[in-house]
Chains A and B, each alone.
Chain A
Amino acid sequence: MTQDEFFAQLSAALFSYAGQPEYSELMDDLKTHFAEALRHGESEAAVTARLGDPAEIAAGFRELMAGEVTPDATSGVTPAPASPASGDEDEFPALPPLPPTLGPDAGRPVLAVDLRSANLVVWGGPGGQPPRVNVRDARGWTARDSEIRVEDLDGSVRITQDPPTGVLGRLFNLVANVTVEVTLPVGSDGYADIRLATGNVELHGLELTGPAIVDTKVGNVKVDRCAARQWWVNGRVGNVRLEDSRGPVEAYSRTGNVVVANHTGAVSADLRSGNLTVETRRSDAPSRLVVRSGNVKASVGRLGADLWLDVRSGNVTVEVAELGANVTTHSRSGNVKAALGASTVALFRLSGSVVKNAFPTTPAPDGAPIVDLSTRSGTVKVTRLA
C-alpha cells in the first residue's frame, strides 16, 4: 500500500471526525512517522505494512474518542466481530447538540422568546423605532393575550407564555392557534433567542449584530432576508428554510428537510432523515454537512474553507465554482457527483466506482486543494461546471 492509499483509507474511515483536533493530531503524527521512516530508508510499502490496517487504527482512534468504554472492558465477554453497520454508528457524532451557550460578547437580548404553543412572526422594521408586538388568534382577531406575556425592557423584548390552566387550556395547548407578531428595528444591536415548544417561526428582514438561536420542538422555521453574526436553527420535527440571508449557519432537523438558498456564509447542517439543499455564494469557515438518510445537494460559489459531507444513505451532489479549500464527501450507499469550476486545479482522491473525472488527476502542485470523494457502494463522477 502506498502512503496516499493509506491516508485515503484512514481518512475515509474517520471521515466524521475530520476537523476535530484529535483527528488532526493523529494525521500529523502519522505523517511525521512517514517522513521519519522514509528518511531512515524504509519504503512506503514497508511503512504501511508496519503501521497496519487503517481500519484497525481507525478503530483504536474511535475508542479513544469514545472514552475507552468498550463492551468487553465492562462485561469480560469477547464481542462479536464488529459488523460494518455497528462500525458506522460510531462514525457519526452525537446529534443534535443543545443550543449554544451565549457568551458575554453576544451583546444584550434584542428578542427573547419562550413560548409553549404559538406561532411567531418577526419583521424587521424601520431603524430607530421602538419594537412592536401584536398577538392575534388564528382568525386574525386580537387575542386575549392574558396568557402571552410581553415585556419591553428598554428596547429588549421578552415574550413568555403562562402555563396552561384547566382541562381546556391543556387541550387547546396542543394547537398553536395564537400568532405573536413582532416588529423589530433593523440593525438591532444584540442577539435573538427564540424557543418554542409547538409552533412555527418566521423571520423576515431581521438584522442583528449578535447571534440568533431558533429552536422549535414541533414546527417549521423560515428565515428570509435576514442577517446575524451566527445562526443556530433547529427544526427538530419540522422543516427549516433560510433564504437570501447572511451569516454562518448551523441548522438541525430530525425529521424534516433543510433548505438554505441564496445564502452568504458557511453552512453546517445535521439531519437525521430529510433532504438537505445548500446554496451559498461564499463559505469562509469550515462546514460539515451530515445526513443519515436523505439526499444532499450543496452548491458553493467560492469555497474558502474546508467542506465535509457525510451521508449514510443518499446521493451527494456538490458544486463549487471557485475551489479554495478541500472538499471531502463520504457516502455509504449512494452516488457522489461533483461539478467544479472549469479552471479548478486540485489533487483528486476518488474511491468507489469512478465513472468519470473530467480533470487531470496528476500531478497537482503543492498546496492545491484536495478533492476527496468516496462512496462505499455507488458511483463517483466529477464534471466541469458549465
Chain B
Amino acid sequence: MITQLKKGVLELCVLAALRDEERYGYELITVISERIEVTAGTIYPLLKRIRTDGLVAVRTVDSPDGPSRKYYRLTDRGRDELAAATAEWTNFYPRVNAMIGVNP
C-alpha cells in the first residue's frame, strides 16, 4: 500500500512540476527533491513510463557546454491526468487525516 501510494504521489509531483514549464531531468529532480524526500533516481524510470503512456513528451536540446538535455513537457493527456490525480488527492488526504485523527 505504502509503496503504491508513494509511487502515485511521486507521479503526481512530477506532473505538477511540469504544469507551468518544461524542465530537463536534473532540474525536475532538483525541484522535487527540494520539497519532498524521494529516491531521486527512481524518477528516471518513472519519466520513461509516463512518456510511454503519453503523459509527457520529450524534446532534446543540445547544450554547448555540457551534455544535451532532455526537456520534458506535459501533453494534453498529461494535463488531464494531472487534473484527475489532483482531484483524487485533494479528496483523499483530508479523509485520511480525519480517519487518523489529524487536523489538516
Q: Which residues of A contact B (CB under 8 A)?
A: 22, 25-26, 29-33, 35-37, 39-40, 50-54, 56-57, 59-61, 63-64, 68, 70, 72-73, 76, 78-79
Contact = CB atoms under 8 A, between A and B. Distances in A.
Interface in B34-59: 38-42, 44-49
A29 B42 CA distance: 11
24 contacts: A25-B48, A26-B48, A29-B44, A31-B67, A32-B26, A32-B67, A32-B70, A33-B25, A37-B26, A39-B65, A40-B26, A50-B29, A51-B40, A51-B41, A52-B38, A52-B39, A56-B41, A57-B39, A57-B45, A59-B42, A60-B42, A63-B45, A78-B1, A78-B3
B99 interface: no
A36 B67 contact: yes
A64 B69 CA distance: 22
Contact of B29 (A33, A53, A64, A79): A33
A36 B25 CA distance: 9
Contacts of A76: 1
A61 B45 contact: yes
A209 B49 CA distance: 41
Contacts of B29: 33, 50
A61 B48 CA distance: 9
B33 interface: yes
A42 B2 CA distance: 31
A35 B66 contact: yes
Contacts of B2: 78
Contact of A64 (B49, B66, B67, B70): B49
Contacts of B4: 70, 72-73
B34 to A, nearest CB: 10
A31 B69 CA distance: 11
Contacts, number: 79
B79 to A, nearest CB: 21
Contacts of A79: 3
A35 B67 contact: yes
Interface of B: 1-4, 24-26, 29, 33, 38-42, 44-49, 65-70
Q: Chain B interface mostly helix, strand, loop or mixed?
A: helix
Given A78-B1, A78-B3, A36 B26 contact: yes
A32 B25 CA distance: 9
Nearest to A32: B67
Contacts of A64: 45-46, 48-49
A12 to B, nearest CB: 15
B75 to A, nearest CB: 19
Contact of A26 (B39, B45, B69, B70): B45
A147 B72 CA distance: 63
B37 to A, nearest CB: 10
Contacts of B38: 52
Contacts of A26: 44-45, 48
Nearest to B48: A64
Contacts of B47: 29
A52 B42 contact: yes
B9 to A, nearest CB: 14
A22 B48 contact: yes
Given A32-B70, A68-B49, 10 more contacts: A22-B48, A26-B44, A33-B25, A36-B66, A36-B69, A39-B65, A51-B40, A60-B41, A70-B4, A72-B4
A38 B58 CA distance: 23
Nearest to B51: A25
Contacts of A40: 26
Contact of A29 (B3, B33, B66, B70): B70
A325 B78 CA distance: 41
